[in-house]
Structure 1
Amino acid sequence: MAEERTGTEGAGFELPLLLFAGFRSIIDAMHRDLAAHGHRDVRPAYGFALQAVGREGASASEIGRRLGVSKQAAGKTVDKLEGLGYVERVDDPEDGRRKVVRPTARGVDMLARSAEGFDRLRAEWVAELGAERVGAMEADLRRMAPAAAFRLDAERWFAG
């Protein structure tokens, strides 16, 4: 018979499930919001890929490195994003043999709406849990997550 846990004592398997459930609740809410604003075809992977593209654009190899996937896998994602109108491939101004993937106006709009949405969703968590608890949770996750775990070029997107 499993031992019943009380207070702050939890089963080891619960922590990753709770972290994933929190992540999933935020991502699902974000995608409902994006769909309501004309981005019905966006999937979570597309947002990560657009973050990896960055405002200035990047090659497929750079996108793959930023996402931690092969150039071929990055290329398939870029193909999908291009088909949906979120990115375009253009000649690299520094090397005409190379193509650069850059966000279109539609891609920039989706990312701007995402940034606004994440701020709104965080504010909802603050309203429910309090600023101190949310701040402490974020600080604790920063401390426990390895620095290399977050490899996207997202800082520029969130900083403006």
Structure 2
Amino acid sequence: MPNPDPPGFELPLLLFAGFRTLIDSLHAELATRGHPDVRPVHGFALQAIGPDGASASEIGRRLGVSKQAAGKTVDRLATLGYVERADDPADARRKLIRLTPLGLDMLIQSAEIFDQLRARWVAELGAPLVAALESSLRRVVPAAGFPVDVPGWFG
């Protein structure tokens, strides 16, 4: 029987373990679907780049890391074929990092896999409990949107 009043430190550890379980499962499935080299930081970076592209400085700010650290991640993503550098039509001095079709495919595949992972949790815990968990987290998490600055926050 679970402890009715567990120590406070268990809550963040359980939330993080749930997060890790989902992310590890995502990456295992992505590997079987043709994306074996992507890592969690790559997914956050692709989200930070977004559908309209972004400069290395913008990516660094969104990820909460330096421009240089963002540049290293972008270099790796470019080597893997997930992003490309292009001239910024609004500013000829600046390079824009854009998603390639492979990068878009990885994001689309990720969304599908997350839906499947959520369905597994529903099968294990029941739809009402998963819905209650999500609703409860929405009540205590700031409504500022979903942060992608996890790499910088952990760094």
For structure 1, the residue ranges without an aligned partner over 5 or more in a row are 154-160
Hey, what does 1:91 align to over in structure 2? Answer: 87
Hey, what does 1:119 align to over in structure 2? Answer: 115
State the AA in 1 paired with 2:121: W
Q: 1:71 aligns with which of 63, 67, 70?
A: 67
Deviation at 1:99, TM superposition (A): 0.5
User: What is the CA deviation profile of residues 69-110 of structure 1, one whole-angstrom value per residue up to 9, with x for unaligned ones?
Assistant: 222211111111111111000001111111100011111111
C-alpha RMSD of matched pairs (Å): 1.8
Q: 2:45 aligns with which of 27, 42, 49?
A: 49
SS at match of 1:88: strand
User: What is the CA deviation profile of residues 97-144 of structure 1, one whole-angstrom value per residue up to 9, with x for unaligned ones?
Assistant: 111000111111111100000011011111111222111111211222
Deviation at 1:7, TM superposition (A): 4.3
Q: Tell me, yes or no, if the aligned pair for 1:87 and 1:104 is still in contact at 8 Å.
A: yes
In 1, the alpha carbon distance for the partners of 2:127 and 2:98 equals 36
Aligned residues: 149
Divergent runs of 4+, >2 A: 5-8, 145-153
Q: Tell me, yes or no, if the aligned pair for 1:53 and 1:101 is still in contact at 8 Å.
A: yes
In 1, the alpha carbon distance for the partners of 2:2 and 2:80 equals 49
How high is the sequence identity, in percent, across the aligned residues?
67
Q: Residues 85 and 6 from structure 1, CA distance in 2 versus in 1: closer, same or farther, beyond 3 angstroms?
A: closer
Q: Tell me, yes or no, if the aligned pair for 1:68 and 1:151 is still in contact at 8 Å.
A: no
TM-score (norm 1): 0.86
Q: Tell me, yes or no, if the aligned pair for 1:26 and 1:121 is still in contact at 8 Å.
A: yes
SS at match of 1:99: strand
